């Protein structure tokens, strides 16, 4: 089992994400991570998607590590995940979510273009992986979430909602996912198929999560997405539509 949370927030984004992970945490979890879309406060820090991942359960120390690693970012949107993951050989960190796509034929200097968290099971990941490899996408893990990230990038056409819709139509399994895009700050798109996903609006934030308890305590009017629905959290507004 695993859990996810996504937030667009005017303040306290990372503390809210860490609290969400703590609410989702289970004794069997062995990895957690978060990604933020940050605007640079100084020229020496690149704006865009940044992440911090841990090969252990969430702890209070995670917040201090993020503050030390990404102190120059003004982050307004983020995704987080916690769960029990299988190691890749004897290494767990490459498997840990969130996963990025840097695009096809990416180099070390290519910025992350898509960030994804997801929980559930993907039944056709091997076929999708092979197709994406043929199109120039390089994989750094055995995670099905990385397959989803590359697939969203490959199906994108400048419209992030349409990219998620197309991707959901290609996936087989039971899952919920959250997505951020490099070119769309202050935006989180989430969708589900036969897995719970809740959303709500609070004071200075809008968010979604696989469990109600992972949303900030001041979240009001919490609702559950219906099967086949997609939610676009954007600049403190939200819209719900169908992806199927």
pLDDT tens-digit map of 189-218? 999 999 999 999 998 999 999 999 999 999
Which pTM was predicted? Answer: 0.95
C-alpha distances in angstroms, 10 versus 76, 198, 206, 235? 6, 20, 9, 9
Mean pLDDT is lowest, of 28-42, 136-150, 225-239, for: 28-42
Arch. (CATH architecture) of 2-242: 4-Layer Sandwich (3.60)
What token pair was written down for 101? 């796509």
Q: Half-sphere exposure of 64 toward its Cβ, with a 13 Å CA cutoff?
A: 3
Instruction: Write out pLDDT tens, residues 70-92.
Output: 655 678 999 999 999 988 777 89
Question: Tell me, what's the pLDDT at 221?
Answer: 86
pLDDT digits (tens, 9 = 90+) for 14-47: 999 999 999 999 999 999 999 999 876 655 667 7
């Amino acid at each position: 089992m695993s859990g996810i949370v996504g937030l667009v927030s005017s303040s306290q984004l990372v503390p809210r994400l860490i609290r969400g992970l703590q609410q989702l945490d289970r004794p069997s979890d062995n990895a957690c991570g978060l990604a933020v879309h940050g605007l640079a406060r100084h020229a020496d820090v690149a704006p865009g998607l940044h992440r911090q991942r841990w090969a252990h359960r969430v702890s209070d120390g995670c917040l201090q590590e993020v503050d030390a690693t990404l102190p120059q970012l003004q982050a307004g949107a983020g995704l987080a995940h916690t769960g029990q993951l299988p190691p890749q050989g004897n290494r767990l960190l490459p498997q840990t979510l969130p996963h990025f796509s840097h695009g096809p034929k990416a180099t070390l200097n290519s910025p992350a273009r898509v960030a994804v968290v997801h929980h559930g099971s993907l039944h056709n990941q091997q076929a999708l992986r092979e197709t994406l490899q043929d199109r120039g996408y390089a994989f750094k893990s055995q995670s099905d979430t990385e397959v989803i990230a590359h697939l969203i990038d490959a199906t994108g056409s400048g419209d992030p909602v349409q990219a998620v819709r197309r991707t959901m139509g290609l996936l087989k399994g039971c899952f919920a996912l959250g997505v951020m895009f490099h070119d769309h700050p202050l935006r989180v798109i989430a969708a589900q198929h036969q897995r719970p996903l809740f959303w709500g609006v609070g004071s200075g934030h809008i968010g979604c999560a696989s469990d109600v308890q992972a949303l900030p305590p001041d979240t009001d009017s919490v609702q559950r997405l219906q099967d086949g629905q997609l939610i676009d959290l954007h600049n403190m507004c939200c819209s719900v539509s169908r992806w199927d």
